[in-house]
Amino acid sequence: MARTKQKRLSKVKELPNVFSSRGPDVKRAIWNYFKSNRPLVFEIGCGHGDYSIELAQIFPDRNFIGVDVKGARIFNGALKAINQNLGNVAFLIAKAENLIEIFQKKSIQEIFIPFPDPHVRRASHSKRLISPGLLKIYKELIVESGSVHFKTDNQGLYEYALKTITDFGGEIIHFSEHLYETTGVVFPSNVITMFEKHYIKNGRRIKYICFKF
């Protein structure tokens, strides 16, 4: 397993649709890849990039970037996007807190955060992708009318997110403790990841929050 991971990490850097926050002039490199100024959408903590790939198919008039700190996770999604000739989706190896150093303020149309690591230990709460520090960055990056979509199967993280967003001053548009049994609340495009299918099969409730700043 370790050898496979190392192999993916090495090969992922060779793919034309994968960029690194440590790369030279990464912002210019990404825009040169897209070759357009279409609205930009992030999937943060993208893993295999399920949302980025499916949304890129549904919305060809938008550019999608899957962001994850671990390049080995990105490999399969990036390769899938290439095989499907999806020129409007790219992947970025970066920490979420580094995004403000790469992209201009008010330049992101929408943000998706599907099933992030809950970081259960209290000492690790600052690492959560919905922490106050990252909410500040998302607010700076996203356009005034833009929305953030957050999904989790973890009750503690869901409750933390609701409180943190509210305390930060965010405007919660929709929220549900059981997304697929709540009338009137639909997650955009209804993309269901590989992990989500597994969660649903095991009887876990999918929680969803849509909010703005």
Contact yes or no for 176/207 (Cβ under 8 A):
yes
Largest CA distance in the chain: 47
Provide the token pair at 178.
């059981």
> How far is Cα of residue 43 from the mean position of the Cα atoms in its chain?
2
Q: How many C-beta neighbours within 10 Å does residue 81 have?
A: 25
| Tokens representing residue 5 in the block | 């991971």
Side-chain half-sphere exposure of 210, counting CA atoms within 13 A:
13
Residue 23 DSSP label: S
Helix, strand or coil, per DSSP, at residue 206: coil
117 is annotated as an active-site residue: yes
CA gap 89, 82 in Å, rounded: 9
Asked if residue 53 lies in contact with residue 89, where contact means CB atoms within 8 angstroms, the answer is: yes
Q: Residue 51: enclosing H or E segment and its boundaries?
A: helix 50-58
C-alpha closest to that of 175 among 165, 167, 183, 185: 185
Catalytic residue among 50, 61, 117, 153: 117
Give me the active site residues, please.
117
